[in-house]
C-alpha cells in the first residue's frame, strides 16, 4: 500500500470495477474471491488506474480480467517476479498478485520464498483449492496425501506444502488465511493485506466444484473458525501453534504480521521517487566514462 | 614481422598472485602515457588449471586484436616459463621471479629478479612490474605513484607496493642486461592526446554504459560468467545513475522482473550467458507476446551445458535467433569492438522501445573481458528512452516505426477505451504506462484482444499474429549493414561476425600487405539479414571464407538460408580460445599449402 490510496476524489464505487462474464464453472470459489477483492478495493478507495494486478496461469489467474484495473497476466508461476519488477519501477502502484496454489507454490515456489525474503511491498492472493483446475484435476502442491486424482490414483506422491507454516517460519511480514465462502471476512483480510507495508500473503481456501470432492464448501464451513482478539498476530509462536494444530479446526484471519524494511528502501535510486520518467544525468555519465 | 612499435607483454603466475591487478595497473598507466593498449587473457593453447596469465599489447596505433607472440614475459612462477616460453619472439625477454631452472637457450634472455631482496614474495607482482617498467623505459617514479593511487583504499599495501615498484625499478636500472639488452622491448614515447584522454574499458563495461546512456533504469540478474561484469558495472553505478539492480533467485525471475519493470515504465535489461539464457527463453516469448520492450545481453561461452565457463565461443547465434516458442520478430546485434558494445547496446535499447519487444546483444567471453584503450564516448547529445512518449527523432538514421502507418492507430475516445494492443500498420501500438493516467493498461501472455484481454476468437488470433509480425518491417528498416573492409573485388573475402572483427581486420591487413587482394565482410547485426546489403560483396570475391568461433558455421548457414549463397570454405575454432590474427594466417597458410597442387575452388 502507499500514497495513491489517499486520492479520494472522486469516490470509488463498486461499479467502477465493472461486471464481466467469466469462464468459471457455476459454484466456483473464484466468484466469492472476486467479489471480496472488489469490496476491499472500494473500502480502500483505490481507483482502477492506481492498481496493478499481476497474475500467472490457472483459473485463479483469470480473475483480474473480470474487473477493471491495470493488468499483466504473465506466465505460469512467474507472477511474483513480474510484480516485483513493476513495483520497483513504480512504487506508487498498488500491486496485487492473484494466482492459484499451483502457480504460487508449485511452479513459482522459488519466487514465493524469494518474495518473502525480499519483503517486496505487494499483496499475494493465493487462491488455494488444493487441485489443478485448468488442466482438469491433477494434484496441486497443497493436495493432501489421501486425495486421489486421475493423475495420482494412489494420491499425491509428495506431502502437502503448507504455505502458511513456511511463511511464518520465514518471518513473512503479513500472513493471513481467508475462505472464499466468507466474503465479508475475506474482504477485510484483503484490505488489511493491501494496507500492510511489505509482503502480504492471503492464502484463500476455496472449493473446486469440478475436481476436488474432498474439500467442499461444506467441508470448509464445518472446520473454519475466525480468529478473535485472543490471538496476537505479532506472536510468532502463537501463529505457528494455530497453523500446526488440529487439522479439523482451520483458523481464518491474520495469523502473523511484523514490521520490517521493505525492498524498495534498500535501493538508493528509489529514495527520490519512481524510476519512471527520469532522464539520464549526462554530466555524471561523462564523468563516469572519463574515469575508466 | 611484428610492427616495431607494437609490444606484447604477458604476465603469468598462479591464481591468487595478483597478476590481474598488476596487469591492469600497468595497462592503465600506459594509457595515461598516451599508448594504445589492449588487455586480454593470454591465449596460448597450453592452458592449465590454476595457471593465470594476462596479456598487454601496447602500440602507437589503434589495436584491434591480441597477438600471440610475446616480447616480454613476466614469470611469477616456474610454470609460466614452461607454458609460455614457446611463444617468445626471437628477441623476446623473460623477467623471472627468483631463480627458476632454465633451459640453456633461455638463459641469456632471462633476467632473474631477486624477489627477497626487493620486498619479498607477497609483493612479487609489483616487483616484476617495477623491473618491467625499467625495461620498457618508463619514468621511474610515475608507476610507483600510480600503484599508490590505485591501492588507496588499502593504504598499507599501497605503501608497500609503491616501495616495491620503486626499489625494483632502481635495481633494474643497474643491471647490464636491462641497460643494454632490452632494445627489442623498450617502448617509444606515448603519443600526444587531445583534451579528452583515452580510457581503458572492457566490452562488458561498455555494454553497461551504453545501456545507462540510453536510459535503462532496471536490471535483474543471476550471476553467470562471462556476463556478470555487465551486471556488476550497473550495480557499481546504480546509486550515481539512479538504477535499480536486483540479484534474482534465478534467471527465470530475472527476466520476468525485467519485463515487469519495463511494463511499468522503467527501461530494463538482463545479461546472462548460454545456460542462464536457456532459463530465460520462456520470458523472451513473454516479452514478445505482451509487446514489452526488453534488452537481453547474451555473453557466449563454450557449451553445451556448463561447457568451459571461462573460455570463449560463438556457438549461440542459432540459439538466440530461435529462442522462445512461437513466432515473433526480433533483432540481434553482435558488436565487434568495445566501442560497438556501447553504441549497439544503445541502439538495442532504443529499438526495443520502438518495436516493443525483445532485442538482443550477442557478445562473448573474449570481447566481454578484453580491455582496450578507447576515446571516451561523447555522451552529451545521445538520444534516450522515454517509455510511453515515443523514441526521440534522430535516434535512428533511417526509417521510423511512427511515420505514417497505413492505418493510423485508433485514438482513445475515453480512458476506458485505451487498447494496449491496438492494431496499427506498423504493428506497434500506442504505449501508455500503468498508473500514468486514467487509461487502463492490460496485457496477457494468452492470445489477447486489442484491449489486452485473453481471447479464443480465432479471427483476432490471426490478426494479432499478423500485427506482431508487421514489426519486422520496422526492424529491417533499421538494420546495421555489414561492414566492408579492404579490397572491393578481392581474391579472398573473409566473412565474420561479432568479436572476431579485430582479428579479421588485422589478418586482412597482413594479407594485403603481402600482395594478396583481400576483403572483409563483418556483421555487427546478425538478424534480421538483408541480402541486398551484402550479397554483391559475396559474389564480387573470387573466393569466400567464413570465419567463426564455432564448430558448425552458424552464420554461414544463416547466410545460405537467407540468400541461397553457400560459403563452402570455413575456418572454425571451437577449442575455447578466440580467433586471432595469427590463427587465421596460420590456417590460411596451411590451407594454401594443402591445395598447392590441386585447383582451388571458390
The domain segmentation of chain A, as residue ranges, is: 3-290
CB pairs under 8 A between A and B: 210
- Chain A CA closest to residue B199: A292
Is B241's CB within 8 Å of A85's CB? no
In A, which residues are within 8 Å of B435 by CB distance? 4, 49-50, 52, 70, 90, 92-93
> If one looks up domain B483-594 in CATH, what number appears?
3.40.50.920
Taking contacts as CB-CB distances below 8 angstroms, the residues of chain B near A87 are: 260, 264
Cα Rg, chain B, nearest whole Å: 26
Q: Which residues of chain B neighbour A41 with C-beta distances below 8 Å?
A: none
- Residue B409 scores a pLDDT above 50: no
Is-contact B580 B558, C-beta < 8 A?
A: no
Report pLDDT for B521. 98
Per-residue DSSP letters for B531-553? GGGTHHHHHHSSEEEEEESSSS-
User: Are A4 and A46 spatial neighbours (Cβ–Cβ below 8 Å)?
Assistant: yes
* Per-position b or e across B89-101, b if 16+ CB within 10 A of its CB: beebbbbbbeebe
DSSP-assigned letter for residue A263: G
Question: What percent of chain B clears pLDDT 90, i.e. is strictly above it?
Answer: 80
Cell for B326?
512461437
CATH superfamily, domain B201-374, is: Thiamin diphosphate (ThDP)-binding fold, Pyr/PP domains (3.40.50.970)
State the DSSP H helix or E strand holding residue B52, giving kind and residue range, or none if neither. strand B51-59
Cell of A250: 482451520
Residue A52: which of B197, B240, B435 has the nearest Cβ?
A: B435
Contact B567, B556 (CB under 8 A): yes
- Strand-pair partners of B74: B11, B95
pLDDT at B488 exceeding the cut of 70: yes
State whether A275 and B265 contact (CB < 8 Å): yes
Name the residue facing A88 among B242, B259, B261 (closest C-beta).
B261
Contacts of B385 (CB under 8 A, 6+ apart): B214, B215, B216, B267, B349, B350, B353, B391
CA nearest to B288 within chain A: A74
Nearest Cα of chain A lies from the Cα of B294 at a distance, in angstroms, of 13
Question: In the predicted model, is pLDDT for residue B464 greater than 80?
Answer: yes
pLDDT at B192: 66
Joined grid coordinates for residue B289? 507476446
Cross-chain Cβ contact A111/B249 below 8 Å:
yes
Interface test with A, best of B376, B433, B439, B445 (most A CBs within 10 A): B445
Nearest chain B residue (CA) to A50: B435
Closest residue on chain A to B387 (Cα): A277
Which of B456, B452, B457 lies closest to B442, judged by CA? B452
C-beta separation of A119 from A260 below 8 A: yes
Q: Which of B262, B286, B435 sits opposite A50 (nearest CB)?
A: B435
Superfamily of domain B7-181: Pyruvate-ferredoxin oxidoreductase, PFOR, domain III (3.40.920.10)
Residue keyed to cell 573481458: B369
In chain B, residues under CATH classification 3.40.50.920 are 483-594
Question: Which pLDDT score, from 0 to 100, does residue B179 have?
Answer: 81
- Go through chain A and tell me how many residues it has: 292
CB-hemisphere CA count at 13 Å for B212? Answer: 32
Would you say A52 and A69 are in contact if contact means Cβ atoms under 8 Å apart? Answer: yes
The whole-number pLDDT of residue B188 equals 81
Cβ-defined contact of B265 to A280 (cutoff 8 Å): no
Q: Do A114 and B253 touch (CB under 8 A)?
A: yes
Q: Find, in chain A, the residue whose alpha carbon is nearest to that of B417.
A: A68
> Which segments of B176-310 does DSSP mark as H helices, in order?
176-181, 203-214, 228-241, 251-264, 274-289
Mean pLDDT of residues grouped by 10 in chain A (292 residues)? 53 95 94 98 97 97 97 98 98 97 97 98 98 94 94 95 97 98 98 98 96 95 96 97 86 98 96 93 95 94
Q: Please name the member of A62, A86, A268 whose beta carbon is closest to the beta carbon of B264.
A: A86
The residue among A56, A76, A86 with the most chain B CBs within 10 A of its CB, best to mutate, is A86
User: CB count, 10 Å around CB of B108?
Assistant: 10
Residues in chain B within 8 Å Cβ distance of A65: 442, 444, 453-454
pLDDT-derived band at B415 (thresholds 50, 70, 90) equals low
Please indicate whether, in this complex, the C-beta atoms of B379 and A285 are within 8 angstroms of each other. yes
Smallest CA–CA distance from A81 into chain B, residue: B257
Considering CB atoms only, which of A110, A111, A276 is closest to B264? A276
- Which three three-digit cell numbers place residue B211? 545501456
pLDDT of residue A199: 98
Tell me the pLDDT band of B445, cut-offs 50, 70 and 90: very high
CB A72 to CB B266 under 8 A? Answer: no
Of A260, A215, A276, A223, which Cα lies nearest the Cα of A90? Answer: A276
Smallest CA–CA separation between B264 and chain A, in Å?
Answer: 5
B364-393 pLDDT, tens per residue? 999 999 999 999 999 888 888 888 765 554
| Domain(s) of CATH 3.40.920.10: residues in chain B | 7-181
Give the one of B237, B283, B433 whose C-beta lies nearest to A288's C-beta: B237
- Set of cell numbers at residue B397: 538514421
pLDDT tens-place string over residues B174-186: 998 888 778 888 8
Say which residue the cell 516479452 belongs to.
B287
Asked if A85 and B257 come within 8 Å (Cβ–Cβ), the reply is yes
Of B41-45, B453-457, B506-510, least confident by mean pLDDT is B41-45
Q: How far is A35 from chain B (nearest CA, A)?
A: 19
B529 touches B481 (CB < 8 A):
no
Among A75, A268, A292, select the one facing B286 at the smallest CB separation. A75
State yes or no: cis peptide before B528, omega within 30 of 0: yes
Contact B264 A288 (CB under 8 A): no
**pLDDT tens profile B228-263:** 999 999 999 999 999 999 999 999 999 999 999 999
> The domain A3-290 belongs to what CATH superfamily?
Thiamin diphosphate (ThDP)-binding fold, Pyr/PP domains (3.40.50.970)
- pLDDT at position B46 is 60
Taking residues B10-31, what's their average pLDDT?
92
**Closest CA–CA distance from residue A137 to any residue of chain B (Å):** 21
Task: Locate CATH 3.40.50.970 in chain B.
Answer: 201-374
Amino acid B454: pLDDT? 95
Grid coordinates given for B141: 617514479
C-alpha grid cell, residue B228: 556478470
Amino acid at each position: 500500500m502507499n500514497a495513491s490510496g489517499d486520492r479520494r476524489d472522486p469516490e470509488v464505487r463498486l461499479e467502477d470495477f465493472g461486471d464481466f462474464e467469466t469462464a468459471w464453472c457455476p459454484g466456483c470459489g473464484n466468484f466469492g474471491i472476486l467479489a471480496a477483492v472488489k469490496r476491499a478495493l472500494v473500502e480502500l478507495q483505490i481507483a482502477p488506474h492506481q492498481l496493478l494486478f499481476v497474475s500467472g496461469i490457472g483459473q485463479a489467474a483469470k480473475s483480474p480480467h473480470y474487473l477493471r484495473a491495470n493488468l499483466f497476466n504473465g506466465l505460469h508461476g512467474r507472477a511474483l517476479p513480474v510484480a516485483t519488477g513493476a513495483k520497483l519501477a513504480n512504487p506508487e502502484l498498488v500491486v496485487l498478485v492473484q494466482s492459484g496454489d499451483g502457480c504460487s507454490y508449485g511452479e513459482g515456489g522459488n519466487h514465493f520464498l524469494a518474495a518473502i525474503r525480499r519483503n517486496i511491498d505487494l499483496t499475494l492472493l493465493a487462491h488455494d483449492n488444493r487441485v489443478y483446475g485448468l488442466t482438469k484435476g491433477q494434484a496441486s502442491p497443497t493436495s493432501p496425501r489421501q486425495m486421489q486424482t486421475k493423475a495420482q490414483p494412489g494420491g499425491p506422491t509428495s506431502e502437502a506444502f503448507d504455505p502458511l507454516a513456511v511463511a511464518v517460519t520465514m518471518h513473512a511480514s503479513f500472513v493471513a488465511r481467508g475462505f472464499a465462502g466468507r466474503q465479508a471476512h475475506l474482504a477485510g483480510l484483503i484490505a488489511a493485506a493491501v494496507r500492510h507495508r511489505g509482503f502480504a500473503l492471503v492464502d484463500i481456501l476455496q472449493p473446486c466444484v469440478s475436481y476436488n470432492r474432498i474439500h467442499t464448501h461444506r467441508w470448509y464451513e464445518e472446520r473454519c473458525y475466525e480468529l478473535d482478539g485472543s490471538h496476537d498476530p505479532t506472536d510468532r509462536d502463537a501463529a505457528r501453534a494455530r497453523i500446526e494444530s488440529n487439522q479439523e479446526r482451520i483458523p481464518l484471519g491474520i495469523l502473523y504480521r511484523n514490521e520490517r524494511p521493505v525492498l524498495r528502501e534498500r535501493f538508493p535510486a528509489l529514495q527520490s521517487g519512481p524510476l519512471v520518467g527520469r532522464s539520464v544525468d549526462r554530466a555524471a555519465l561523462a564523468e563516469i566514462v572519463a574515469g575508466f | 614481422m611484428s610492427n616495431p612499435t607494437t609490444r606484447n607483454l604477458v604476465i603469468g603466475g598462479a591464481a591468487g598472485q595478483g597478476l590481474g591487478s598488476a596487469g591492469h595497473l600497468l595497462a592503465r598507466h600506459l594509457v595515461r602515457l598516451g599508448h594504445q593498449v589492449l588487455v586480454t587473457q593470454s591465449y596460448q593453447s597450453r592452458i592449465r588449471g590454476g595457471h593465470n596469465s594476462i596479456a598487454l599489447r601496447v602500440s602507437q596505433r589503434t589495436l584491434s586484436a591480441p597477438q600471440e607472440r610475446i616480447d616480454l614475459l613476466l614469470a611469477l612462477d616456474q610454470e609460466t616459463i614452461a607454458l609460455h616460453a614457446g611463444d617468445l619472439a626471437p628477441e623476446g625477454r623473460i623477467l623471472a621471479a627468483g631463480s627458476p631452472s632454465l633451459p640453456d637457450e633461455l638463459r641469456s634472455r632471462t633476467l632473474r629478479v631477486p624477489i627477497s631482496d626487493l620486498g619479498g614474495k607477497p609483493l612479487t607482482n609489483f616487483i616484476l612490474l617495477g623491473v618491467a617498467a625499467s625495461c620498457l623505459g618508463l619514468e621511474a617514479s610515475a608507476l610507483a605513484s600510480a600503484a599508490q593511487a590505485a591501492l588507496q583504499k588499502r593504504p598499507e599495501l599501497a605503501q608497500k607496493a609503491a616501495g616495491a615498484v620503486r626499489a625494483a625499478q632502481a635495481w633494474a636500472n643497474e643491471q647490464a642486461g636491462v641497460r643494454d639488452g632490452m632494445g627489442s622491448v623498450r617502448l617509444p614515447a606515448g603519443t600526444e592526446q587531445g583534451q579528452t584522454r583515452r580510457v581503458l574499458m572492457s566490452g562488458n563495461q561498455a555494454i553497461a554504459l551504453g545501456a545507462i546512456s540510453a536510459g535503462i533504469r532496471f536490471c535483474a540478474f543471476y550471476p553467470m560468467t562471462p556476463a556478470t561484469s555487465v551486471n556488476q558495472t550497473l550495480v557499481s553505478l546504480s546509486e550515481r545513475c539512479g538504477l535499480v539492480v536486483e540479484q534474482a533467485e534465478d534467471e527465470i525471475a530475472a527476466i520476468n522482473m525485467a519485463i515487469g519493470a519495463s511494463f511499468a515504465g522503467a527501461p530494463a535489461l538482463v545479461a546472462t550467458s548460454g545456460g542462464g539464457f536457456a532459463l530465460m527463453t520462456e520470458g523472451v516469448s513473454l516479452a514478445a507476446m505482451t509487446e514489452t520492450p526488453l534488452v537481453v545481453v547474451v555473453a557466449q561461452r563454450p557449451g553445451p551445458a556448463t561447457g568451459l565457463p571461462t573460455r570463449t565461443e560463438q556457438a549461440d547465434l542459432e540459439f538466440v535467433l530461435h529462442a522462445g516458442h512461437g513466432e515473433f520478430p526480433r533483432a540481434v546485434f553482435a558488436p565487434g569492438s568495445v566501442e560497438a558494445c556501447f553504441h549497439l547496446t544503445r541502439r538495442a535499447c532504443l529499438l526495443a522501445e520502438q518495436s516493443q519487444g525483445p532485442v538482443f546483444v550477442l557478445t562473448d567471453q573474449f570481447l566481454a573481458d578484453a580491455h582496450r584503450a578507447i576515446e571516451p564516448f561523447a555522451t552529451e547529445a545521445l538520444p534516450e528512452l522515454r517509455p510511453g512518449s515515443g523514441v526521440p527523432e534522430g535516434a535512428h538514421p533511417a526509417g521510423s516505426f511512427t511515420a505514417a502507418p497505413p492505418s493510423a492507430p485508433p485514438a482513445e475516445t475515453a480512458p476506458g477505451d485505451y487498447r494496449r494492443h491496438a492494431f496499427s500498420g506498423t504493428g506497434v501500438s500506442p504505449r501508455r504506462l500503468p498508473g500514468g493516467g486514467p487509461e487502463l493498461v492490460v496485457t496477457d501472455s494468452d492470445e489477447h484482444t486489442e484491449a489486452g484481454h485473453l481471447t479464443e476468437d480465432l479471427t483476432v488470433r490471426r490478426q494479432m499474429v499478423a500485427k506482431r509480425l508487421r514489426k519486422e518491417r520496422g526492424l529491417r528498416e533499421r538494420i546495421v549493414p555489414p561492414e566492408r573492409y579492404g579490397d572491393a573485388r578481392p581474391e579472398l573475402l573473409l566473412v565474420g561476425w561479432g568479436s572476431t572483427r579485430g582479428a579479421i581486420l588485422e589478418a586482412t591487413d597482413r594479407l594485403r600487405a603481402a600482395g594478396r587482394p583481400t576483403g572483409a565482410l563483418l556483421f555487427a547485426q546478425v538478424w534480421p539479414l538483408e541480402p541486398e546489403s551484402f550479397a554483391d560483396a559475396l559474389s564480387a570475391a573470387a573466393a569466400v571464407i567464413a570465419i567463426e568461433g564455432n564448430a558448425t558455421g552458424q552464420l554461414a548457414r544463416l547466410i545460405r538460408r537467407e540468400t541461397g549463397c553457400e560459403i563452402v570454405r570455413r575456418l572454425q575454432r571451437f577449442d575455447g580460445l578466440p580467433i586471432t590474427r595469427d590463427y587465421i594466417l596460420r590456417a590460411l597458410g596451411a590451407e594454401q599449402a594443402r591445395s598447392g597442387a590441386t585447383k582451388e575452388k571458390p
